[in-house]
Structures are given as structure tokens and as C-alpha cells.
Amino acid sequence: MIMKVHKLNVYNNACRSLFERHKLLLSLQMLVRLLMSEDKIAREEYDFFLRGGTVLDAKDQMPKPQ
């Protein structure tokens, strides 16, 4: 119960200084960090979500169509 109230207070106090368009991004960031702390989201999966897949070796990449 105390953690729930603390999270809500942190969110409310942070939202006071944000524009309306930035509040959704703050909510996403807080949610992801909380889920990472509970080991419900892996860091590698979140990095893939942010950056997408990357090709480490150009030889493994498919050739571009003409």
C-alpha cells in the first residue's frame, strides 16, 4: 500500500512540471522501469523495442532489391 501511494505521489509531483504531451512518455518510462525492477521485462527486449533490430555483420544482411 505504501509503495502504491509513493509511486502515485512521484508521478503527480513530476507531472506538475511537464507539458501535457510529455506526461504519457513519463508514464511509459515509469511503467517500464517498474516492470524491469520486478523482472517482468528483460533489458534486451526493451532495448530492441527502442532501437529495433540491428545487423551486426553486413554479410548476413539480405541484398537490397533493384
pLDDT in tens, 29-38: 999 999 999 9
The amino acid present at 16, given as its one-letter code, is R
Is 47 inside a domain boundary? yes
pTM above 0.85, yes or no: no
- The total number of structural domains in the chain stands at 1
User: Which residues 6+ apart lie within 8 Å of 27 measured at CB?
Assistant: 11
Q: Average the pLDDT over 2-20 and give the result.
A: 91
Is 13 inside a domain boundary? yes
Is 28 inside a domain boundary? yes
Residue 55 is predicted with a pLDDT of: 65
pLDDT in tens, 20-56: 899 999 999 999 999 999 999 999 999 888 888 776 6
Is 24 inside a domain boundary? yes
CA separation for the pair 38, 16 (Å, rounded) = 27
Print the domain residue range for 26.
Answer: 2-52
Is 57 inside a domain boundary? no
